[in-house]
Copies of this chain bind each other. A is one copy, B any other.
């Protein structure tokens, strides 16, 4: 008997409440252990905790749980919370390192950890080192949590494999991103695709004992859903409302990020026509009005609309993939709702 799944907002709110409570309990133990070592050890743990609790919609745990319900709709969710918390700590590790690599000052409405420690220790290099170690600690905690969920299940090898695959692919993706590698689609698949949708989904599904056929179906869903998530990010990075994204308008233009929007503009416009865009791309000091002109160009030239059409296509592909593959109705409904949310969110 399929349960009435109810609206996605309630589901997400429920996941967030559970995961945040679980993270808080986990960190209480870690704080106590670290305090038994030294004050600076406790401060390191607190930095990872504060960063993790600062924000985050806990969408990865929601995908993990939806993937699990797609295989076993009546599963007890309690044993999954370790893995859910682990995903959030993997995310903290990656963001803390990325922020240092990109030399960003702000994240989730607060100071990035390498800046925070640089100020506290009055030494930028030392600050960077301690931030990298805070990230590494988050990663070690992530492994602890995922290992715990995995080893109480009957499917520990497959669950751990889904985890380390994600962890490895995101490293490959980040390295290519940093050197501005030409194949943007590959970077997106490795970096965002792997750990935004596919990895969490597979961890959840294999913990429920997904068959090869079920996994294949979920992977066919994860690829377009993850890509839609990323392409929406590309649009929000330029056109998003600053009060919702937490970043200034046109942020990705000034940062010079190679996104699908830029690739699309280059394929539609010749060099002369692209002039207003080229004038701001990668120019951190570009004026407000120059950024506005580049945004107008992306609109007028149909670039933005073409990218929106691409998102619609991706969403359709994701939805279609769910119809095959022997998934539960409850899980399918949740995954449909999540894909739609990824594709059409405004933050």
Could you tell me which A residues sit within 8 Å of B by CB distance?
A: 34, 37-38, 40-41, 44, 97, 100-101, 103, 121, 125-126, 129-130, 132-133, 136-137, 139-141, 143-144, 147-148, 150-152, 156-157, 160-161, 163-164, 167-168, 171-172, 174-176, 178-179, 181, 183, 186, 190
- A230: min CB distance to chain B, Å: 17
Residue from A121, A144, A164 with most neighbouring chain B CB atoms (10 Å): A164
Q: Check if B171 sits within 8 Å of A136, measured CB to CB.
A: yes
Closest B residue to A37 by beta carbon equals B172
Question: What is the bound-complex CA distance between A179 and B43, given in angstroms?
Answer: 13
Q: Check if A121 sits within 8 Å of B41, measured CB to CB.
A: no
Enumerate chain B residues within 8 angstroms of A174, measured Cβ to Cβ: 133
Q: Check if B38 sits within 8 Å of A140, measured CB to CB.
A: no
Question: What is the bound-complex CA distance between A186 and B129, given in angstroms?
Answer: 20
Q: Check if B171 sits within 8 Å of A140, measured CB to CB.
A: yes
A164 in contact with B179 given A133-B174, A151-B157 (CB within 8 Å): no
The oligomer's copy count stands at 2
Q: Check if A141 sits within 8 Å of B168, measured CB to CB.
A: yes
Question: What is the bound-complex CA distance between A286 and B94, given in angstroms?
Answer: 40
Q: Check if A147 sits within 8 Å of B157, measured CB to CB.
A: yes
Q: Check if A168 sits within 8 Å of B140, measured CB to CB.
A: yes
Question: What is the bound-complex CA distance between A100 and B132, given in angstroms?
Answer: 11
Q: Point out the residue from B34, B130, B136, B178 that lies within 8 Å of A126, measured CB to CB.
A: B178
- A291: min CB distance to chain B, Å: 25
Enumerate chain B residues within 8 angstroms of A168, measured Cβ to Cβ: 137, 140-141, 144
Q: Check if A136 sits within 8 Å of B41, measured CB to CB.
A: no
Q: Check if B175 sits within 8 Å of A41, measured CB to CB.
A: yes
Closest B residue to A189 by beta carbon equals B37
Question: What is the bound-complex CA distance between A137 and B174, given in angstroms?
Answer: 11
A176 in contact with B38 given A140-B164, A140-B171, A156-B151 (CB within 8 Å): yes
Cross-chain pairs A/B with CB under 8 angstroms, 7 sampled: A37-B172, A37-B186, A141-B168, A144-B161, A147-B160, A147-B164, A151-B160
